[in-house]
Structure 1
């Protein structure tokens, strides 16, 4: 079911008429547009005009209303009040600010949850959430879904033909809907019946003969207790898929309701937190495109060097860009940190220049718009102390606000260029795809086999190496076309259908180059181990068999030898037995299988497959293998140090420095520097184009 939904999404977004439609939303000559959240309901009405005027004077081109305003839009059941919002929209238009309108479903009003307490999420222990926060209502509750559509319909009727409204944001940062309420239980059973058709098919898929788990009817199935030891892994996996489906289908229903009233000029999106185990991202077919939220400095990421925590981990924006862009015709960033936040573990001040750096990084990935939460810093509520573009006085720009203003001015400078530059051929030749399916990540993470395995970090080892090469990267799904990529990395792709194995084989035989890593091809698409030798369906591809795999203790790492270098590993190692014609690139150095192959290189048809059997501790093995492969393939690479990221977008070269020291960019004489200088300081940006 999930696979069909995703295929439909890709087909829906691939048509040329839709591409033209998205171009009308965001004219290419504008490059990008920048906006800021504003909450009229939080401020004295007499201040609205001043605030929106200030927003426009700072260069912002749109604003964002009604995200959490259901209680103000519908103060009592069936009674709607749009007068206050009409005034705010009118004032925005007065100052030439377009408006993103939001559906407020993340915060139902108290009268609704008191009258219908069943709409609240029920936890696994049977207790319920309560009013007073956000995302506390269940997308699986039938009444909530139905009543939310009534409110959205009224909002869409009122603003659907309003030229001042540029588009719609559904909900806010939707998460997977995990609810143990009665409606969720019934909807889970219906979802399973639609997916499997018969109880016999479900029993086969779940392997319920194990531990006497066989079901006779769908009515006997309960939502699995995830905290109960030994629960059926496939039942848990399907439940997590169902929870993601509830989120994506709730968004689809909202979009369908809005589309019944909205002008074709208005687009519909939602803003996701980039989570790489979330199947609902990209699964809502009725959205026009998707956007994401990104915060960089809030205590959880150290960055590079002693000041790195003030700049952030450089891969966070880069990976979000490269993950979202292939999923959607265009994308935007709905929330980008404006400065210090209040909700992290340690809410440090960002380094001066960091906010501008993040804005340029979002732009460099291809984003069509960037919006920030929020224009005015809140003076009350849960997010008190969170910075805005202006401070709590509503007048004084913060440092982050001034950096937004600087970025806006710099984009306007680029808009004035009569012609764009060209993208270098060597940059395009380095274009690489990473084949990725969040379902694999969920499946691996619920059965890791070792405490030191980290799926996302494993993928990042390949991704960071590629970015250090100066490679443009796309995260792609197995339903997409592989032919546009000379190199595809397939990291830890544990669940793999025979159809996908065949598709990858055809890609390689036709001249493509694969890098496959450990934990790939162990299971079929149901998550069952093959009734064959371990991972046997990929043996032709990799030109090797896998004798066994090993998992080391954290206190006893071992090493792998390649080209007179040694690389430490701990978490996972596939011990390989290569065919006679397959090259061995690296061998295990220690323990009872010393001398056995850990990295192999196989020529198959017109292409190649490099298999990296181990997950190194620091990512240095993965980097070394990729470098060796690209040299073999005659693909020129750069050698950017960690924290230096370089992208091309619309003919502009953009270099960004997240490192803890200055970096001098090596540029040829045939470039025109537009912004910055070849010497890029920490948090600095350089923009150029070919003459």
Structure 2
């Protein structure tokens, strides 16, 4: 592994070891972190999923990523999502548990995020990372807050219902009548295209606002989040090219181990999207060892795949260690 470390530091990358959310839940203490002097010696960094372990990492000289979500959010702000079949759910996917188009939540978020930035301003943090692999796990969200925002977005886009009707070939009397399609194919192709465009915009708008809130407190902060490279990212609600413009860096999470064609495609995608926005491409979770779905991982696997990432201009690699169950 010495060659890997030399190559990485030689091109100015940051290599990191990640301690996941389970560490905080298990009660990781200051002495436990200090028991890893080799982490500090090699210049590794610690990334986490909670405020407590961030504070512990800072005490011993590590440089953590401030990974935060809706800590302490009042339960009443959890507005349900509605999928294209009309089913209500409080979670849109495994990591998406807040309806960010619900205005009362956004009002709370606008107060909460600056408080997080104030807490860590001036401290040796690597970056701020809101949420984790945030995406829809179904065909978009049809809840009332999202529909209201879609209609408002259409009004700002077209100006009048007459202009929309002329462009779409429809006969709506008011924007309040517009319903996004819930099935594909649809007769209203223009409506479907705009609905997809709106959905990707509203994701990037949420992350852009979060970045502005942090920088209103700490203008030098780096703000970005990590996403999972799906075969069709638009179907998850977001678009990497849109997201890259809303953040200081664009990051993917990749666990490949031998699936090099898929890995190469994902790396090219994140690099392309980041470059188009003049941003850096990062990997905030990268295979660092065995896990439940890849029980056999060798040092050669990690060495080779890290070099595949380096060759595609990835500027930060965080090796994420899972503890197999």
Q: TM-score range by the shorter chain?
A: 0.7 to 0.9
1:334 and 2:284 correspond = yes
- Distance in 2 (alpha carbons) for counterparts of 1:138 and 1:220: 22
Pick the aligned partner of 1:274 from 211, 224, 229.
Answer: 229
Pick the aligned partner of 2:100 from 139, 143, 166.
Answer: 139
Q: 1:596 — aligned with what? A: none
1:225 and 2:185 correspond = no
- Distance in 2 (alpha carbons) for counterparts of 1:201 and 1:28: 56
* TM-aligned CA deviation for residue 184 of structure 1: 0.6
1:125 and 2:92 correspond = no
- Distance in 2 (alpha carbons) for counterparts of 1:43 and 1:183: 37
Q: 1:191 — aligned with what? A: 153
Pick the aligned partner of 1:41 from 13, 24, 29.
Answer: 24
Structure 1 residues 45 and 339, CA, compared in 2 at 3 Å: closer, same or farther?
closer
Counterparts of 1:557-576 in structure 2 under 5 Å?
none
- Distance in 2 (alpha carbons) for counterparts of 1:348 and 1:226: 39
SS in 2 for 1:50: helix
- Distance in 2 (alpha carbons) for counterparts of 1:100 and 1:331: 16
* TM-aligned CA deviation for residue 36 of structure 1: 2.3
- Distance in 2 (alpha carbons) for counterparts of 1:143 and 1:235: 27
- Distance in 2 (alpha carbons) for counterparts of 1:232 and 1:330: 38
Structure 2 portions without partners, runs of 5+: 1-7
SS in 2 for 1:333: strand
Structure 1 residues 274 and 45, CA, compared in 2 at 3 Å: closer, same or farther?
closer
Counterparts of 1:6-155 in structure 2 under 5 Å?
30-38=11-19, 39=21, 40-46=23-29, 48-51=30-33, 53-54=35-36, 56=39, 59-66=42-49, 69=50, 84-85=52-53, 87-93=55-61, 97-105=62-70, 112-113=74-75, 115-117=76-78, 119-130=79-90, 133-155=94-116
- Distance in 2 (alpha carbons) for counterparts of 1:147 and 1:207: 40
- How much is the aligned-residue C-alpha RMSD, in angstroms? 2.9
Q: 1:325 — aligned with what? A: 271
Structure 1 residues 322 and 181, CA, compared in 2 at 3 Å: closer, same or farther?
same
Indicate conservation of the 8 Å contact 1:271/1:292, yes or no: yes
Pick the aligned partner of 1:358 from 272, 284, 305.
Answer: 305
- Distance in 2 (alpha carbons) for counterparts of 1:52 and 1:128: 46
Structure 1 portions without partners, runs of 5+: 1-26, 74-83, 209-213, 298-310, 378-383, 386-691
Indicate conservation of the 8 Å contact 1:121/1:128, yes or no: yes
Q: 2:202 — aligned with what? A: 246
TM-score (norm 2): 0.81
TM-score (norm 1): 0.40
Counterparts of 1:159-174 in structure 2 under 5 Å?
159-162=120-123, 164-174=124-134
- Distance in 2 (alpha carbons) for counterparts of 1:191 and 1:371: 37
- Distance in 1 (alpha carbons) for counterparts of 2:104 and 2:85: 22
- Distance in 2 (alpha carbons) for counterparts of 1:200 and 1:349: 61
Give deviations 1:627-647, integer Å, cap 9, x for gaps. xxxxxxxxxxxxxxxxxxxxx
- Distance in 1 (alpha carbons) for counterparts of 2:100 and 2:14: 32
* TM-aligned CA deviation for residue 226 of structure 1: 2.5
* Structure with greater Cα Rg: 1
Indicate conservation of the 8 Å contact 2:127/2:223, yes or no: yes
Q: 1:23 — aligned with what? A: none
* Number of equivalences: 303
* TM-aligned CA deviation for residue 338 of structure 1: 2.2
Q: Relative to total residues, which structure has the larger strand share, 1 or 2?
A: 1
- Distance in 2 (alpha carbons) for counterparts of 1:52 and 1:202: 62
* TM-aligned CA deviation for residue 277 of structure 1: 4.2
* TM-aligned CA deviation for residue 53 of structure 1: 4.1
Q: 1:7 — aligned with what? A: none
SS in 2 for 1:283: helix
* TM-aligned CA deviation for residue 372 of structure 1: 2.5
Give deviations 1:459-481, integer Å, cap 9, x for gaps. xxxxxxxxxxxxxxxxxxxxxxx
Q: Which structure has the higher relative contact order (CA within 8 Å, separation 6+)?
A: 2
Q: Relative to total residues, which structure has the larger helix share, 1 or 2?
A: 2
SS in 1 for 2:42: coil
- Distance in 2 (alpha carbons) for counterparts of 1:232 and 1:341: 45
